């Protein structure tokens, strides 16, 4: 069996593209400019779309620039904050299929503008299903279209106004080749018999237009595992909430107020007193008293209101399995070996064949002491249903079930 990407073009001599073939259009900031572009859009066209945010600079995840291209209408560079989006534009956006790269990043920002796809094609997701070695937009245009895109402003502050001309060139190129990539990737998916899988994945990606907000977002702090006591966790929670309020009110990225590493270090040191707390703080940290107030507030909490150092989610943190649940870990390793083999056969990364989280959830449900049914010999139909119940897409459940069954047999033999 040959790889679906064995015959890709050689990108070694790919030309560097700095502007779209038709030139970079001016930034549109008026309703009239939007309507003029809308008038050129044909009814059956896909919309190639990209969004520029300022997440490294601003608190908000809103779009500061929206780029759209169709074959008939050309490229629209839209400042979504400059004017009210007309209904004609919204109707077009919400009734045409979209082409995006890494759509999960852009869909929430577009949804904030009232824009959601009737269907989408994600070039990054397609490339992952095909097992392509590099899946960034620049890599795909090089390998599949033999053009190199100038990538100079990916980390720019897109909330800045006016936007420099070179930034607009960069932004326009992000949608210039999406339709061509879709054509090539669609053919490759067909050749690899993965088209139906891609449709399921694209539908799944569309659900990220409205991502779930965690019940306890402060638990997303990097390095939180260093905190061992409920009081330290309460300090971290209080400091996170204070940082979030400052960042939100100032519209700056939270890390610009206080980085996670420093916040966790300060929370850890708080149990030793004010001096150690101050020593753990960044030297340039302002308003230290307000941060120490977080410690005092945490100390005043009744014990029942202190956060627990508990496992979140449907199963314990997998990093604890070797120590606390060795039998579950052994079963997971056995199943994962089978999944790795199946992923190799399908020429795709194992994490795209099925999420590690979904697989751990299924293994936990079957092999933990808390499991209702510790059945190593489940039927194929049962396994498919259970995998879908924990979040796997139907195509994933169908593809991994035979490998799981064989792994379960090996697991049973190893314990007999």
**How far is CA 85 from its chain centroid?**
27
Element (H, E) at 28: strand 27-28
Q: Burial, 137: exposed, middle or buried (Cβ in 10 Å; 0-12, 13-18, 19+)?
A: buried
- Burial letters for 294-320: b for 16+ Cβ neighbours within 10 Å, e otherwise? bbebbeeeeeeebbeeeeeeebbebee
Between CA 198 and CA 265 the distance in angstroms is 44
DSSP conformation letters of 315-346? S--GGGHHHH-HHHHHHHHHHHHHHHHHHHHT
Q: What is the pLDDT along the chain (416 residues), one digit of tens a residue?
A: 334 444 455 555 678 999 999 999 999 999 999 999 999 999 999 999 999 999 999 999 999 999 999 999 999 999 999 999 999 999 999 999 999 999 999 999 999 999 999 999 999 999 999 999 999 999 999 999 999 998 778 789 999 999 999 999 999 999 999 999 999 999 999 999 999 999 999 999 999 999 988 899 999 999 999 999 999 999 999 999 999 999 999 999 999 999 999 999 999 999 999 999 999 999 999 899 999 999 999 999 999 999 998 766 789 989 899 999 999 999 999 999 999 999 999 999 999 999 999 999 999 998 887 665 555 567 899 999 999 999 999 999 999 999 999 998 888 887 76
Do 16-209 and 217-305 fold alike per CATH?
no
Closest Cα partner for 251 from 54, 51, 29?
54
**Residue 371 has what pLDDT?**
64
- Beta strand 65-70 with 47-52: parallel, antiparallel or unpaired? antiparallel
Cross-strand bridge partners of residue 149: 17
CATH 3.30.1490.100 fits 217-305, yes or no: no
Q: Which two tokens stand for residue 386?
A: 């259970």
Question: What is the CATH code of the structural domain delimited by 16-209?
Answer: 3.30.420.10
Residues 203-223 as b or e (16 or more Cβ within 10 Å = b)? eebbeebeeeeeeeebeebee
Q: Would strands 65-70 and 74-78 be described as parallel, antiparallel, or unpaired?
A: antiparallel
Q: Give CA–CA dist 107/171, Å, rounded.
A: 17
Q: Is the dihedral of CA 375, 381, 384, 390 positive or negative?
A: negative
Per-residue confidence (pLDDT) for residue 5, from 0 to 100: 47
pLDDT value of position 375: 55
* pLDDT given at position 2: 35
Q: Where are the domains of the chain?
A: 16-209, 217-305, 318-415
Per the structure block, which two tokens stand in for 333? 């390793």
As assigned by CATH, the class of the 318-415 domain is mainly alpha
Collapsing DSSP states into helix, strand and coil, what is residue 309?
coil
Amino acid 312: pLDDT: 65
**Rounded Cα distance, 97 and 203, in Å:** 12
pLDDT for position 149? 92
pLDDT value, residue 13: 66
DSSP for residue 81: T
pLDDT score at 155: 83
Number of other residues whose CB lies within 10 A of the CB of residue 413 = 8
């Amino acid at each position: 069996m040959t790889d679906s990407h064995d015959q890709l073009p050689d990108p070694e001599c790919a030309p560097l593209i700095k502007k779209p073939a038709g030139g970079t259009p001016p930034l549109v900031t008026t309703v009239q400019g939007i309507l003029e572009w809308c008038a050129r859009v044909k009814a059956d066209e896909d919309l190639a779309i990209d969004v520029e945010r300022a997440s490294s600079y601003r608190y908000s995840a809103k779009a500061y620039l929206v780029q759209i291209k169709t074959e008939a209408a050309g490229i629209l560079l839209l400042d979504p904050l400059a004017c009210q989006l007309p209904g004609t534009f919204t109707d077009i956006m919400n009734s045409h299929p979209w082409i995006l790269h890494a759509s999960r990043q852009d869909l929430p920002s577009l949804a904030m503008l009232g824009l959601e796809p009737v269907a989408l094609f994600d070039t990054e997701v397609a490339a992952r299903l095909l097992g392509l070695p590099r899946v960034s937009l620049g890599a795909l245009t090089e390998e599949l279209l033999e053009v190199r895109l100038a990538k100079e402003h990916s980390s720019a502050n897109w909330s800045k106004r006016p936007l420099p001309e070179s930034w607009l060139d960069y932004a326009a190129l992000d949608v210039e080749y999406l339709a061509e990539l879709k054509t090539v990737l669609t053919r490759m998916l067909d050749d690899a018999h993965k088209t139906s899988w891609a449709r399921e994945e694209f539908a799944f990606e569309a659900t990220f237009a409205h991502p779930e907000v965690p019940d306890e977002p402060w638990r997303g702090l990097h390095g939180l595992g260093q905190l061992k006591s409920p009081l330290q966790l309460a300090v971290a929670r209080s400091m996170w909430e204070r940082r979030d309020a400052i960042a939100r009110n100032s519209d700056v990225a939270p890390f610009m107020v206080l980085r996670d590493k420093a916040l966790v270090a300060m929370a850890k040191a708080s149990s030793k007193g004010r001096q150690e707390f101050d020593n753990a703080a960044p030297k340039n940290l302002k308003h230290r008293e307000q941060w120490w107030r977080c410690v005092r507030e945490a100390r005043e909490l009744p014990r029942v209101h202190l956060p627990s150092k508990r496992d979140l989610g449907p199963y314990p943190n997998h990093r604890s399995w070797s120590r606390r649940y060795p039998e579950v870990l052994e079963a997971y390793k056995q199943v994962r070996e089978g999944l790795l083999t199946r992923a190799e056969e399908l020429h795709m990364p194992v994490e795209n064949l099925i999420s590690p989280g979904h697989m751990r959830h299924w293994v936990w449900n079957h092999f933990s002491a808390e499991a209702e049914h510790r059945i190593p010999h489940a039927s194929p139909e049962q396994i498919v249903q259970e995998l879908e119940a924990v979040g796997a897409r139907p195509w994933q459940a169908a593809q991994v079930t035979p490998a799981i069954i064989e792994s379960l047999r090996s697991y049973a033999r190893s314990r007999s």
